[in-house]
Chains A and B, each alone.
Chain A
Amino acid sequence: MAGNKRTVTDDKAIIRTLEDNEEKGFRLLMEKYKEPVYWHIRRLVVNHLDAQDVVQEAFLRIFRSMRQYSGENSFKAWIFSIATNEALRLLGRRQGREMLSLDDTTTALDLMCDEYFDYSRVEAVRLQKAILTLPAKQQLAFNMRYYDDLSFKEIAAAINSTEANVKANYHYAKEKIIKYMNSNN
Chain B
Amino acid sequence: MEQTFDFEKIGKQMPYTVPDGFFDTLEEDVMKRRAASVSNGKARTIRLAIRTALAVAACLALFFIVRSSLQHDSDAAADDFENVELAFSNLSTEDQDYLLENFQDDLFMNNNDIN
Tell me the A residues contacting B by CB distance below 8 Å: 1, 26-27, 30-31, 34-35, 38-39, 42-43, 46, 48, 52, 55-56, 59-60, 63-64, 111, 116-119, 121, 123-125, 127-128, 146-147, 177-179, 181-182, 185
Contacts and interface: CB of A to CB of B under 8 A. Distances in A.
A59 B1 CA distance: 44
A127 B14 CA distance: 8
Given A56-B33, A182-B1, A182-B4, A117 B17 contact: yes
Contacts of B16: 39, 42-43, 46, 48, 116-118, 128
A60 B31 CA distance: 9
Nearest to A125: B15
B30 interface: yes
A64 to B, nearest CB: 8
B15 to A, nearest CB: 5
Interface of A is mostly: helix
Interface stretch (B5-13, B68-76, B86-94): B5-13
Interface of B: 1-5, 7, 9-10, 12-19, 22-23, 26-27, 29-31, 33-34, 37
A11 B1 CA distance: 44
Q: Which of A39, A64, A127, A147 has the most CB of B within 10 A?
A: A127
Contact of B4 (A59, A118, A185): A185
A52 B28 CA distance: 13
A42 B14 CA distance: 10
B83 to A, nearest CB: 69
Given A34-B27, A56-B29, A182 B34 contact: no
A116 B17 contact: yes
A44 B45 CA distance: 37
Q: Which 4 A-B pairs have the closest CB atoms?
A: A181-B5, A124-B13, A125-B15, A59-B30
B4 A55 contact: no
B22 to A, nearest CB: 8
B64 to A, nearest CB: 42
Given A27-B27, A34-B26, A116 B19 contact: yes
B27 A124 contact: no
Contacts of A43: 14, 16
B61 to A, nearest CB: 38
Contacts of B15: 111, 117-119, 121, 124-125, 128
